[in-house]
Structure 1
Amino acid sequence: MITKDMLVADIVKEIPKSADIFRNNRIDFCCGGQIPLSGAVNDKSESLDTLLEEINSLQTNSAGEGLDVQYLDNASLINYIQNKYHIPLREEMKNLTPYVTKVARVHGERHPELVEIKEVFTALKNELLDHTQDEDDNVFPLVINYTHTPTEDLRSQLQPHIDELETEHENAGNALKRLRELTHDFTPPMDACGTYRLVFSRLEQLEKDTFNHVHLENNVLFKRF
């Protein structure tokens, strides 16, 4: 049974689908997830009792379903993160960029917020691509090495990387929050064309995937160290 005193990040570890409830209620479960549910309720969220009811209902309905990734060993969890998030992220950024650019160019005069959306998206894209490449090339191999040989020297090498990655995660979260503000919760205007609507829909999916991705790293993998 989920209670009001449980940390938000721990609730998502226990019931992964609760991430959708938190996201819909503007509750940060990744970078800001180290607070109790009772302290996370805000003026844009449902009441504490309603949130508890929804989350505990999820727990009942999802019993026995899916892969509980918090119990994967480090190598398996890293493999899961790379295949579930890193590879699809690179593909999505490549495919989404032309649409974001086109919409800003065609509709930016009537909707000047699209120009800032393009700027924020471009900065976020560059940071996330560099970030995931650094993880794959440097940090994850160091994690595996430390897992097999847990020396103090390797731990001292690993910790600054984790600190830097968590800071970058927070920066990405701030960029996504700005995108949500600029898009009015990813709601296109009445006169939006199909491509316009496509961009907003895929930006919303990017937010969801990135929050889930960051949660797995911050609150599951990195927390082990």
Structure 2
Amino acid sequence: MDILDQSLGQLACSVAGATRIFNDYQLDFCCGGKYSLRNAAQEKGIDAEEVARRLASLQGATDVTDWNAESSETLIVHILLRFHDRHRQQLPELIRLARKVERTHGNRKDCPVGLTDHLSEMQQELESHMKKEEQILFPLLLCGQAALVGGPITIMRMEHEQHGDALQHLLALTNDINLPSAACNTWRALYFALRVFREDLMEHIHLENNILFENAALMRSAHA
């Protein structure tokens, strides 16, 4: 199938490194991963052929991990260390920076008023979500209890959709995380960190929705 007609989710799974390119163009490959590259690019006003050429150049690359080829155990350890631990480090600092920007520049029309509260809500929701994975879902998967994970995975997918909505609201508050003119260093640090956090969370959701959870579904089918 032509790259242009494959879904963003398929490409994120089959082309190692594709998610970095999708982030460059703000293409949603996790919650919006069902859309084809052609349609998603058209909706964004992006040159789909340019994106396809960059994806084609990655095929055969060996400097990135192909998570489809790794065990669920290895992927879970990666998710815990690379994303769960990272989000717990990122959000307190993001909240601190956002609070300072709102306190100092709240009278400016381009100030992201409400961002501190929104990030605090995201922190609470993510912490609850990650604890469910750490205490319930991941132990079941690691013990090979595939028959018992259908319900927890359904809940995790629903919460991923909510995280995706939260990221969309974050973009709305920050003008797509674009710095205004004459932004101070704290504001610059905040928006840089927000971009990193957004990319991390989208990659986190992608690895779970499109690889870990799909592998679990195959295991359930095999044991049915």
Letter in 1 for 2:94: L
Match of 1:209 in 2: 200
Partners of 1:161 and 1:113 lie apart in 2 by 39
- What's the Cα RMSD here? 1.9
Q: Show structure 1 runs of 4+ deviating over 4 A.
A: none
Partner residue, 2:174: 183
3-state SS, counterpart of residue 12 of structure 1:
helix
Q: Deviations over 1:113-141 (max 9, x none)?
A: 52222222111111111111211111111
For residues 102-121 of structure 1, the aligned pairs below 5 Å read: 102-111=100-109, 113-121=111-119
The answer on whether the counterparts of 1:2 and 1:11 sit within 8 Å (CA) in structure 2 is no
TM-score by length of 1: 0.87
- Size of the aligned set, in residue pairs, is 216
The aligned residue for residue 125 of structure 1 is 123
Deviation of 1:192 after TM superposition, in Å, equals 1.6
1:220 to 205, 211, 214: 211
1-side partners of 2:68 and 2:45: how far apart? 27
User: In the superposition, relative to structure 1, how do residues 116 and 67 fare at CA in structure 2: closer, same or farther (>3 Å)?
Assistant: same
SS class of match (2:180): coil
* TM-score (norm. length: structure 2): 0.88
Equivalence map 1:1-225=2 (5 Å): 3-59=3-59, 63-111=61-109, 113-145=111-143, 147=144, 149-150=145-146, 155=147, 157-224=148-215, 225=217
Matched residues, percent identical? 30
Question: Does the 8 A contact of 2:17 with 2:64 survive in 1?
Answer: no
| CA distances 1:31-77 after superposition (whole Å, capped 9, x unpaired) | 121233233223424233222112112325xx222321221111111
Q: Is the 8 A contact 1:26 1:45 kept in 2?
A: no
* AA in 1 matched with 2:97: Y
